Structure 1
Amino acid sequence: MRGRDEETGEFHDKSRKQKRNEALDVLALGEKLVSLTPAQLARLPVPEDLLPHIAECKRITAHIAHKRQLAFLAKHMRREEEATLDAIREALDANSDTGRREVAMMHRAEDWREKLMSDGDAALSKLLDEYPQADRQELRTLVRNAQAEKAKNKPPRAYREIFQVLRTLMLPAALGLIVADSGEDAEAVEEDADDSQD
């Protein structure tokens, strides 16, 4: 029973509904962690003692057993400090923003590849205006080879290479957008670098 403080009239403990909602939030967080790849999981500040439980939950595929193991994982997660769980949530949010930027960059590279294939030199000139560091000759050769492959129904090796070249070309700009969005963080990094040189 929760009871009330006689002096202030406040409840001593959280209500049953609050506890249930918090437990469901932790369970949802556990589901997200289980759905991540090992590389994505490694980037998060997940405590070492939770990793075996996450791995076990991934291993179990039977529906009821999986749900039971997920509940067991959530039980262990609730034992962690709230600050630890908040840090995991923040890192997940940051990763999802980065993922969206990467997907947007890939779509942009695909769009440029299609423009290069259809418009040729006109699209290449526009691309070079936007990315002057691009190698005109390499891209022109790849486009020509991709068009020849398409005409002869050959495997699209050059077509794929165009995408890789464009992706490599656009990656620094995408990373620049990430730094620009977190202006305070960029300033803090610069200050730390200045302090370490002193």
Structure 2
Amino acid sequence: MDFVMTVRTWCAGPALVAAALLAGSSACAQADAAWPALQDGSIVLFRHATAPGGGDPPGMKLGDCSTQRNLDEAGRAQARRLGEQFRQRGIKVTAVLTSQWCRTRDTAELAFPGRAREDSNFNSFFGDPSRQPAQTAAALALLRQWRGPGVLVVVTHQVNISMLTGLGTASGEGVVVRPQGQGLEVLGRLAP
């Protein structure tokens, strides 16, 4: 089942990846313009900060960070800067959700200390693509309920953000969205 996402209209599925690659350069040019979009009722989907490598090592366990790919020092500094940007701009963050992966939780904790709550709807399905349709539908349903007050911050993974918005993201990059119709309207991007 495909979900209509408005970026100016994206569809989840194979066309999504091709469209994201074609739109990438113009979306990046709008990064600074996205900060004003962070108002009551908006959502920002962040890819976790820099964690060298890709995927996770064999034998990865959710409850054991020593088995996972984790933030390096650059990633920890990136996460702290992220939170500082929100504080400097006076952006009211009401809720912070993360996947159960250590790198997403650590990103959220460094950026927004003591605020993060885990939500398995934002767990990576990189290693098990069969989970994507149901998980993306559940994440979308949760996001479509958000009305504020303030901003909802979600720290998740590139694959999740791609399926929800049609956009690829760099480590620490954010995509600002708001619920619209049956999907999400992309308002802009926040550079890492």
* TM-score of Structure 1 vs Structure 2, range by shorter chain: under 0.3
Which has the larger helix fraction?
Answer: 1
Which has the larger strand fraction?
Answer: 2
Q: Greater relative contact order (Cα 8 A, min sep 6): structure 1 or 2? A: 2
- Bigger Rg over Cα: 1
Per the normalisation by structure 2, the TM-score is 0.20
Per the normalisation by structure 1, the TM-score is 0.20
